[in-house]
Structure 1
Amino acid sequence: MSDEQHVLSILVEDRPGVLSRIAGLFSGRGFNIASLCVANAASEGLSRITLVTQADPLVIEQIIKQLRKLINVVKVTDLAEGPAVYREMALVKVSAKPEFRAEILRIVDIFRCKVIDVSAEHYTVEVTGDQGKITALLDLLKPMGVKEIARTGVTALSREQRNGN
């Protein structure tokens, strides 16, 4: 079986050490965490960890079982098992030489991004979307001189089932 990318949504109690135990489970078994996003959940006292990793389905099944056994883990969902919404945000600092400024602004407009900071030599662009959109934007901006990139990593939620539609 080939390794596949999996996005795990892990609802945990907001307590010290929870993230460390989860990361330790992965590192102890030699698995890489490609992306990690943690923030408060809708319910007070809970946080949602969105974790991206790559492994074959049998290994993911074992990881999920082990995660569910950890103290303070409330729920674990492999978002590959059903429909889900995935997003990532990136800040991109790009060189704004006079000959590229109009082109950068056209690209920003096409991708429905925002220029959030302007200096004499750089634009800082904010982009939100799936990984494909962010990669496509970066590919277009690279020839102009991408100076820095900060990405949030994937955040995701499962989709609710629609009734009759």
Structure 2
Amino acid sequence: MHIHAEAAERHTLSILVDDEAGILARVAGMFTARGYNIDSLTVAHATEDLSISRITIVTSGSAAMMEQIIAQVDRLVPVHRVVDLTAQGPHVERELALIKVAGVGENRIEALRLADVYRARVVDATTASFVFELTGSSEKVNSFIAMLQEVGLVEVARTGVVAISRGKEAA
């Protein structure tokens, strides 16, 4: 008899918390203590009065693992709500990257051509380098970075994924 382990899937979690010291470390600690890798983590205020923050975590695991981690995170006192956006259905994910490319001549021309194809904006330029700003899915950012490695990629800074569910309902 053959037993198959549940496949690990990519999940995007949205966690609304009271904005208080130490909560990010406590939430991240729940993942690391159980050996779950965090692929991306972002946090920012979610309300105008700055009292609530949204933590967005991208991780991988089986459905059973996700249920377990969601239940554990949900039990933390300053946590208001944990939503697995992946399991919930349609949602929007975006990431911002700043990408520095150095090059002259043909490499410079090719970097600008690629930026046009990917709809990246030039946010800084010198005679020998550019800094591009690109917003999109992680896959789009990864693809643009891979293409720029051929023409003088120097450095990359990424925000990590931010995500929100589609439709008229709030998290």
TM-score normalised by structure 1 residue count: 0.93
Unpaired segments ≥5 residues, structure 1: none
Distance 2:146 2:31 in 1: 31
Alignment of 1:144-163 (within 5 A): 144-160=151-167
Q: Does 1:65 align with 2:71?
A: yes
Cα deviation for residue 120 of structure 1 reads 2.7
Which residue number in structure 1 is paired with residue 3 of structure 2?
none
Q: Which runs of 4+ in 1 moved over 3 A?
A: none
From 111, 120, 127, the counterpart of 1:113: 120
RMSD between aligned alpha carbons? Answer: 1.3
Alignment of 1:44-55 (within 5 A): 44=49, 45-55=51-61
Q: Does 1:125 align with 2:132?
A: yes
Q: Does 1:2 align with 2:14?
A: no
Unpaired segments ≥5 residues, structure 2: 1-5
The worse-fitting range, judged by mean Cα deviation, of 111-120 and 72-81 is 111-120
Distance 1:128 1:58 in 2: 32
Deviations 1:103-138 (CA, angstroms, capped at 9, x unpaired): 211111111110111123211110000012112211
Distance 1:110 1:14 in 2: 40
Deviations 1:50-102 (CA, angstroms, capped at 9, x unpaired): 00111111010000000110010001000112110000011111112222222
